């Protein structure tokens, strides 16, 4: 069930974020790029945390051409490595006394069976554990900042997913969609549990979640190339914009969650039409499983154990 927040809300309705420091993971392409472009145009200082420096600098140049005077900086970040995450957070903390907005946007999708450098299943390790550790290390910059928000991207794939605590790496039944769905469910459960814990300690910051519905980005292309389907990957990249919404449309729920005054901690935003696949931003409702606080607590404690990072909430 969804609740419309405002009919035909689009990027023209995004309020000013002048003077705010915004960190976006995976900001060099797709939804992250559009989110960075719009918030830069609204006066934010944008930290683009990306794995590939060349692609990030190219994205910065594109935004600066579209938004003269945009305040942008690059931050090296590899969410598949706990050591790299720690280094990135140390660098961010040295350069910035606070953050106003953290958007956990980066992710991988439909990858072949594999492990991160730390031994985690690729999707779960990158999409969930990477963002868990990254957010936890940056909480001191956000927690006591009035109006601060943490926006974590999930997916409609969470509706068909479960957390396989007894086979977290899916060694006894791997599937690309199964692995991706588990990681995006974990993203959503993390966002909701983080809000519970922020409330419990009286923090100023809030945690919310968002998802894009179906948007034409290049997220699936690396997965197709990985299994030798380079022509299909190229074709998907070319026809994607015609069979799915444009990336800016997919970014609208994130932008709403990140900027609008009526947003409350623990809310979940996505498209408002046809099972949250299309349409303008609306309040969505996570599945009952995703809202289960006992499962979320178990996931949180397991994430602390696996990453060795405790948020201190």
Dihedral of the CA atoms 212, 213, 216, 218 (nearest 10)? 60
Tokens, residue 234: 């190229």
> How far are the Cα atoms of 37, 150, 186, 241 from residue 247, in angstroms, in the given order?
12, 21, 23, 8
Dihedral of the CA atoms 241, 106, 64, 34 (nearest 10)? 40
How far is it, in rounded angstroms, from Cα 164 to Cα 161?
9
DSSP string, 45-73: EEEEEES-HHHHHHHHHHHHHHSTT-EEE
| Residue 118 DSSP symbol | T
| Residue 149 DSSP symbol | E
Helix, strand or coil for residue 268? Answer: strand
Helix (H) or strand (E) holding 116: none
Contacts of 12 (CB under 8 A, 6+ apart): none
Q: Catalytic site residues?
A: 180
Tokens, residue 291: 């809202």
């Amino acid at each position: 069930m969804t609740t419309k927040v405002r009919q035909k809300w689009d990027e023209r309705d995004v309020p000013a974020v002048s003077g705010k420091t915004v960190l976006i993971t995976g900001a060099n392409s797709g939804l992250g790029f559009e989110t960075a472009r719009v918030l830069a145009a609204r006066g934010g200082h944008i930290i683009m945390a990306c794995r590939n420096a060349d692609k990030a600098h190219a994205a910065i140049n594109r935004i600066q051409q579209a938004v003269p005077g945009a305040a942008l900086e690059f931050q090296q970040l590899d969410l598949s490595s706990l050591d790299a995450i720690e280094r990135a957070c140390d660098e961010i903390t040295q350069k910035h006394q606070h953050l106003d907005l953290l958007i956990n946007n980066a992710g991988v999708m439909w990858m072949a069976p594999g492990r991160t450098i730390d031994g985690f299943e690729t999707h779960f390790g990158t999409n969930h554990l990477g963002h868990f550790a990254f957010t936890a290390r940056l909480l001191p910059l956000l927690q006591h900042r009035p109006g601060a928000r943490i926006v974590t991207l999930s997916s409609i794939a969470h509706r068909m997913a479960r957390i396989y605590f007894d086979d977290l790496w899916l060694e006894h039944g791997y599937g690309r969609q199964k692995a991706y769905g588990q990681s995006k469910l974990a993203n959503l459960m993390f966002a909701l549990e983080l809000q519970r814990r922020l409330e419990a300690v009286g923090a100023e910051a809030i945690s919310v979640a968002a998802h894009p519905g179906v948007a034409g980005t290049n997220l699936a292309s690396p997965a197709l190339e990985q299994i030798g389907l380079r022509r299909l990957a190229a074709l998907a990249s070319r026809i994607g914009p015609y069979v799915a919404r444009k990336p800016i449309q997919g970014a609208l729920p994130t932008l709403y969650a990140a900027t609008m005054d009526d947003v409350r901690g623990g809310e979940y935003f996505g498209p408002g039409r046809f099972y949250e696949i299309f349409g303008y931003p609306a309040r969505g409702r996570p599945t009952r499983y995703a809202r289960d606080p006992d499962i979320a607590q178990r996931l949180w404690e397991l994430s602390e154990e696996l990453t060795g990072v405790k948020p201190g909430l």
